[in-house]
Amino acid sequence: MRKTNLILLPVLLLTIGFVVSCGDDNEGPTTPDTFDRKAMLENIGQNIILPGYQRLQGSVWDLQTAVGAFVDNPSASTLSDARSKFNDAYLKWQAVSFYEIGEAEKVFLRGSYNTFPANTITINSNISSGSYNLDAVSNIDAVGLPTIDYLLNGIGDNDDDIIAAFTGDADAGNRGTYLKDLLAAMKTKIDQVHGNWPADQGNFIGSFVAADGTDVGSSLGMLVNALNFHYERFTRDNKIGKPLGIRSLGIPIPANVEARYSRQSIALAVANLEAIRDFYLGQGEQDGLGLHDNLLALESKYEDRLLGNAIKEQMDLAISKVQAIPEPFADTVENNPDPASDAYQELQKLLVLIKADMPSALGVLITYQDNDGD
């Protein structure tokens, strides 16, 4: 906001308010709770986003170490350790995936970390040739967690075959290098994204808390738009809808599930939804101000309830329905799709609430373009 506005506006509004409020006391005094948007951003930044990146960074570092140990010395035990570190990193990723703003957006974190399904043809041709640029757009589905999933869990039919792919196979050396290169690229990105946030480093947190308006460039605007963008396309569509066949006239696409080879699609979807709920509630290391509190303070209504609570309840319901989908999801979509269809309906209802009702109540804008009507 321009400096002059900050001086002009109060003068003008006070004048208008004064001129008009004379004799306008027919409305009983309403005293809405004061809601401190800055404090909410402070909480979301310090208590949720920053620790989220910190945890992901730690788990990526651990995974890098474990993958290095496995590649240097492929064995059942190093493989099992690498897998457990992989599962941990995938879970930690779910907690940060939906606030792709600032540096994360700049380095295209979500695209490079979790574009699935992995393209095994590209991956294998990269490995055979030994020459590749992991940052290239053409390699977007040959990097990140889905590719590691494939290399640690899907490159062979059983653990012995998988270990053999890193020892006896003609491409074994290249394959190990590829795996290490993937981790190095992921480490660079998360280091960069995480390093941009703390006050004593990139201090994105500073400008994040300062931008406390509701326009597109404000932090609240960016968070709400980023959340909806992620939730609609990635949580609802990619994790559940597309494998279920929602986008392909009912024909399921089991190969499109997330974490296809480690068979943890539903666990990851639940982790993502739970993280979204915590974010909404302002719940991090400790409970603080979140969008939920903001909506309650605005007293926004949804039918005869408060919108803030309606969203929370719908989140709880959607999570429980997704939890009820049997793993592995790739089998479920073909053999037992009903629980997934039920869950999908609840995810849809949640989307309406957070994409239509919530921004409307918060006064958040979705574009920079002029608007005189709505």
Q: Show contacts with other proteins in window 26-45 (CB under 8 A).
A: 27, 29-32, 34-35, 37-38
| Helix residue ranges, H only, 97-158 | 103-106, 109-114, 120-129, 144-149
Q: Does 324 interact with other proteins (rule: CB under 8 A)?
A: no
Candidate segments 24-32, 87-95, 141-149, 180-188, binder of other proteins by CB under 8 A: 24-32
Residues of this chain, 327-346, that bind other proteins according to CB under 8 A: 345
Candidate segments 22-30, 63-71, 81-89, 123-131, binder of other proteins by CB under 8 A: 22-30
Q: Does 16 interact with other proteins (rule: CB under 8 A)?
A: yes
Residues of this chain, 213-272, that bind other proteins according to CB under 8 A: 213-215, 225, 232-233, 237, 241, 245-251
The residue (of 129 and 345) whose beta carbon lies closer to other proteins is 345
Residues of this chain, 38-77, that bind other proteins according to CB under 8 A: 38
d(CA 189, CA 201): 15
Backbone φ and ψ of 301, nearest 5°: -105, 150
Candidates 39, 159, 301, 327: give the one binding other proteins (CB under 8 A). Answer: 301
Q: Does 348 interact with other proteins (rule: CB under 8 A)?
A: yes
Candidate segments 82-90, 274-282, 318-326, 356-364, binder of other proteins by CB under 8 A: 356-364
Which tokens hold the place of 335? 């053999």
Could you tell me if 333 and 244 are in contact, meaning their C-beta atoms sit under 8 angstroms apart? yes
Q: Does 366 interact with other proteins (rule: CB under 8 A)?
A: yes
CB of 8 to other proteins, least distance (A): 7
The SS3 call for residue 283 is strand
Q: What is the DSSP letter of 34?
A: P
The residue (of 101 and 164) whose beta carbon lies closer to other proteins is 101
Q: Does 129 interact with other proteins (rule: CB under 8 A)?
A: no
Could you tell me if 109 and 53 are in contact, meaning their C-beta atoms sit under 8 angstroms apart? no
Could you tell me if 71 and 166 are in contact, meaning their C-beta atoms sit under 8 angstroms apart? yes
d(CA 361, CA 323): 30
Residue 213 CA neighbour count, 13 Å, CB half = 9
Could you tell me if 297 and 40 are in contact, meaning their C-beta atoms sit under 8 angstroms apart? no
